[in-house]
Amino acid sequence: MQQKRSKRYRAAAEQVDRKKAYSLNDAVATLKKFPPTKFDQTVTVSFRLGVDPKQSDQMVRGTCALPHGSGKHVRVGAEHVGFKDLIQKVQEGFQDFDVAVATPAAMAEVRKLGKVLGPRGLMPNPKAGTVADDTAKAVDEVKAGRVEFKLDKNGNVAVPVGKFSFEEKALVENGNAVIEAIVRARPATAKGRYVDAMTLSATMSPGLKLDPSPYLAGQAA
């Protein structure tokens, strides 16, 4: 059964040139002309990558600092400072945080929370920058708008780059940072075309196809 699109969505879709691969600047400018929603939508860049997600050596994962932040208020586990007392609190059901940060030395104990943190994707991880000796710095980076990205089982990655209310320049600069981070994260074992497709969209908007070629100079497209 086909989902019936709203009048607002159809009006936005009419502004999209389906045959065009937009530059990021043009895509953001077009997106900002779409009819607004009643809430501040999250703007996302989505990637379809030419890697095999079943191969552990082709995993694409990392973090990216957004120059203008994410627009999201992040509750960090390390703001509730503690060690064994905090671990016990989490085991007892405390979940009032969106990110957990731990030192390498603490990980032996923190791993006991795998059944609690794992399903929420909150287990601290060195690749995500959430296992660090300098936890204060890690917390500052997370709160400033560092986003994490990870390849899904279908070879796709979706990364938020800000809110619809952001200025065009902020969305473009955040988007550039994310695209460059994904390109840098290309696994050494990836063969052939790495970025198959890139799309810019907001929560309730149609997607705009992006041209990846400016970001892929000097490597196999």
Condensed to tens digits (0 to 9), the pLDDT of residues 194-219 reads: 999 999 999 999 999 999 999 987 55
- What is the pLDDT confidence band of residue 133, given thresholds at 50, 70 and 90? confident
165-175: string of b/e by CB count within 10 Å (b at 16+)?
Answer: ebeeebbbbbb
- pTM exceeds cut of 0.75: no
Q: In the numeric block, which tokens belong to residue 193?
A: 């075309």
d(CA 120, CA 73): 17
Please measure the distance between the N-terminal and C-terminal CA atoms of the chain and give it in whole angstroms.
37
Q: How does DSSP assign 174-219, residue by residue?
A: HHHHHHHHHHHT--TT--S-SEEEEEEEETTS--EEE--GGG-TTS
pLDDT in tens, 9-40: 898 999 999 889 999 999 999 999 999 899 99
d(CA 115, CA 119): 7
